[in-house]
Structure 1
Amino acid sequence: MFTGIIEDLGIITKLDKEQDNLHITVKSAITNELKIDQSVSHNGICLTVVEISEEHYSVTAIKETIDKTNISDLNIGDFVNLERAMKLGDRLDGHIVQGHVDQIGTCESIKEDNGSWIFTFSYDDTLGNVTIEKGSATVNGVSLTVVNSQNNSFSVAIIPYTYEHTNFKHLKKGSKINLEFDVLGKYIQKLYNNRL
């Protein structure tokens, strides 16, 4: 369980393909606080730490994860948003984030707006995911408030701190992003669909 509040920007230092698996090595300022078997969110993808060496650690993505996220688009030198799992009893500064990506979306536009940025993302609405105005959505692991909810797209407003301390500053029009929709909304949507 995560909150969507990013702790560090990690750097991809090594990518190794082994059969259907992808082994990813990350350099991060939080490495010395990690332990083997710990869950860490990487651009919103919950992955388990399998190896630690000085300031680097490694995780493994299996085929299911590779098929449903943008993790196969990573390159050496890319920045990833990192968050460790929340501690029971801590403040929930973002919203409830599971680290289970629902689908890949696309960055449609980026607009500077007098000190902030408006990012618009599109997604395949036939998969049953929805956003609501002023609801929560997770983009590359970042907890955000929806400011313009449409049937297959939504926008978010990014403050300068979030822009500078996440990989939002590296997104471009056409960038593929990981989306996790609000878990409460997903349950309500499923209940509603079951009643029809």
Structure 2
Amino acid sequence: MFTGIIEEVGKIQSIRKGASSAMLSIQASDIMQDIHLGDSIAVNGVCLTVTSISSNSFTADVMHETLNRSSLGNLRIGSSVNLERAMAANGRFGGHIVSGHIDGTGVVSGIHKDDNAVWYTIKTPLPVLRYIIEKGSIAIDGISLTVASVNKDSFRVSIIPHTASLTTLSNLRVGDSVNLENDCIGKYVERLMGKERQNNHITAGFLAEHGF
């Protein structure tokens, strides 16, 4: 589990592509102080497993499904990536619950400055957009952000300089693809409610029992 608070921006050192998979070598420094084989690392919001470690880099395999669901297939040697280790049990929960399982990708359709903030508009497929609500949480390339507004085919976030400087957001341009992970709560509630609706078991008591 992750929180969407980026620890470090790393760089793609090498990419070895297979027929439908890839192996990434990622240069890093801060997170290398406490990293082990088999650890989970969120790379631009995608949960990957560490398969080898050197003094200043680690490797991770990316399978076919992950390449299809995320923007990792667009990475090139030298690309910057957001990195976050899985949250320690004694850590502070600074962002929101992020699983590292991408729901889909969006496309940056607008960027404009507003005094000290920068607004990003993300055009989003409807299956992903349906779970995005104003003032709700969204992870963009693994960064925990608050949704400022939503319309029929996109949503907007407003970024403070601190967040931009410590993540890859400042590198984004109109037309770039970004990984999106919805707040998981809405998806689970929809699934649970759908099953109960089929069984006609939705009652005030049922909702109370399940914490609603």
The TM tier, using the shorter chain, reads over 0.9
Question: What CA distance in whole angstroms lies between the structure 2 residues aligned with 1:13 and 1:127?
Answer: 31
Please report how far the alpha carbon of residue 19 of structure 1 lies from its aligned counterpart in structure 2 after TM superposition. Answer: 3.1
Larger radius of gyration: 2
Question: What CA distance in whole angstroms lies between the structure 1 residues aligned with 2:58 and 2:26?
Answer: 5
Which stretches of structure 1, 4 residues or longer, exceed 4 Å deviation after superposition? none
- 1:86 maps to 87
| Structure 2 unaligned residues grouped into runs of 5+ | 199-212
Question: What CA distance in whole angstroms lies between the structure 1 residues aligned with 2:182 and 2:152?
Answer: 13
- 1:169 maps to 170
- 2:18 maps to 18
Question: What CA distance in whole angstroms lies between the structure 2 residues aligned with 1:129 and 1:46?
Answer: 23
Alignment map for 1:11-160 (pairs within 5 Å): 11-29=11-29, 30-126=31-127, 129-160=130-161
Judged with a 3 Å threshold, the aligned counterparts in structure 2 of structure 1 residues 62 and 34 are, in CA distance, closer, same or farther, namely same
- 2:209 maps to none
TM-score by length of 1: 0.95
Question: What CA distance in whole angstroms lies between the structure 1 residues aligned with 2:173 and 2:106?
Answer: 13
Please report how far the alpha carbon of residue 122 of structure 1 lies from its aligned counterpart in structure 2 after TM superposition. Answer: 1.3
The residue type paired with residue 81 of structure 2 is V
| Structure 1 unaligned residues grouped into runs of 5+ | none
Question: What CA distance in whole angstroms lies between the structure 1 residues aligned with 2:167 and 2:26?
Answer: 15
- 1:2 maps to 2
**Contact 2:129 2:153 survives alignment (8 Å):** no
Please report how far the alpha carbon of residue 91 of structure 1 lies from its aligned counterpart in structure 2 after TM superposition. Answer: 1.6
Please report how far the alpha carbon of residue 128 of structure 1 lies from its aligned counterpart in structure 2 after TM superposition. Answer: 6.9
2:189 match: secondary structure: helix
**Contact 2:129 2:154 survives alignment (8 Å):** no
- 2:203 maps to none
Structure with the higher strand share, 1 or 2: 1
2:108 match: secondary structure: strand
* 1:31-74 deviation line (CA, Å, top 9, x unaligned): 23211100000000000000111101100100010111001100
Question: What CA distance in whole angstroms lies between the structure 2 residues aligned with 1:31 and 1:120?
Answer: 33
Question: What CA distance in whole angstroms lies between the structure 2 residues aligned with 1:128 and 1:110?
Answer: 19
**Contact 2:123 2:154 survives alignment (8 Å):** yes
Question: What CA distance in whole angstroms lies between the structure 1 residues aligned with 2:123 and 2:190?
Answer: 19
Identity of aligned residues (%): 37
1:77 match: secondary structure: coil
Please report how far the alpha carbon of residue 133 of structure 1 lies from its aligned counterpart in structure 2 after TM superposition. Answer: 1.0
The residue type paired with residue 28 of structure 1 is A
Please report how far the alpha carbon of residue 144 of structure 1 lies from its aligned counterpart in structure 2 after TM superposition. Answer: 0.3
Which has the larger displacement, 124-133 or 95-104?
A: 124-133
Judged with a 3 Å threshold, the aligned counterparts in structure 2 of structure 1 residues 127 and 56 are, in CA distance, closer, same or farther, namely closer
